[in-house]
Amino acid sequence: MIKGTTKLLGVIGHPVEHSLSPAMHNAAISHLGVDFVYLPFPVKPGDLKAALAGFAAIGVRGFSITIPHKQAILPLLSEVSPIARSIGAVNTVYLTDKGWCGTNTDVEGFLAPLHTPPTPPYQGGAKDAISPLERGNTALESCPPPYQGGARGGSDWSQKVAVILGNGGAARAVVAGCAQLGCAEIHVVGRSEQNLAEFQQSWVNSPMPVHNLQVHTWDNLSRLISQADLLVNTTPVGMYPQREKSPVAAGALDRISAGAIVYDLIYNPNPTQFLKDAKLRGARAIDGLEMLVQQGAAALKIWLDKESVPVDVMRQALRQHLGLD
């Protein structure tokens, strides 16, 4: 129940009506029994600065960011985490003693399904400790530090090759994630040689440099797929309503090694044609729904100052919303 004491969280974007974040966050908030609500806030590009001032004035405790504000908000923040600067985008904002702090939880979301062994299910409940935000303390000390690299969960990625399809904003989060895993080689495939060269150079000058990154045009894809231990699609090809499309021709995907991980950031349809084709060839398939859930869970931990949030509840809420159950 929303009361006069209820603290506000939300998501900003334009448009924002399509966002799935309210469904998963409010499910988690209800499960935890904390006095918060998560709302969609439509904010036009020209109103972004005014919206930040308004949020501070009415006591909004934190918010997610979607298109078109992920880059535009950077100069308006008091503090930006190194991982967000490296990616060049912010997707999560919360209040500190210095003002609004921005970070990016997409890397953590991307990495979560690659943990070995899997993260155990959440065991908490409504009686978890009250967070500093609930007590009225909005002065979180600083942006959370990025993951510092190395193999997660016991997996050794130091001899593994990652191949990333696309060189847009989503690919930047995946490159950062692969670098933090410690991949031996990271290959990015795109269509424009100029854009690829700029993409590569941006990582050399990044706050978190990536020196084992190579870029390639699409005609090199078949050769790269045969080397890939991890193949990630960051392009929109195959997204609803184009259910039958795949970013990789079936003939090229024939070269994937059995047991390789094929990861599609798209979550609708579920699974995509790309993942269907990969599974037929013996690959392990990961869809984008888990990244969506896990990046949201990482943000909710920041806002509520909790070590654990009910990821399983968030996942189930999204699956029901998408008609997958």
> Token pair 């090229």 is at which residue?
252
Q: What backbone phi and psi angles, to 5 degrees, belong to 211?
A: -100, -10
For this structure, is 70 an active site residue?
A: yes
**What is the rounded CA–CA span in Å between residue 277 and residue 147?**
32
**What is the rounded CA–CA span in Å between residue 176 and residue 131?**
30
> Token pair 């193949």 is at which residue?
231
Q: What backbone phi and psi angles, to 5 degrees, belong to 214?
A: -125, 150
**What is the rounded CA–CA span in Å between residue 45 and residue 39?**
18
Catalytic residue from among 7, 44, 49, 70: 70
**What is the rounded CA–CA span in Å between residue 118 and residue 155?**
11
Contacts of 198 (CB under 8 A, 6+ apart): none
Output the six-digit token pair for 157.
């990625």
**What is the rounded CA–CA span in Å between residue 23 and residue 212?**
39
Catalytic residue list:
70
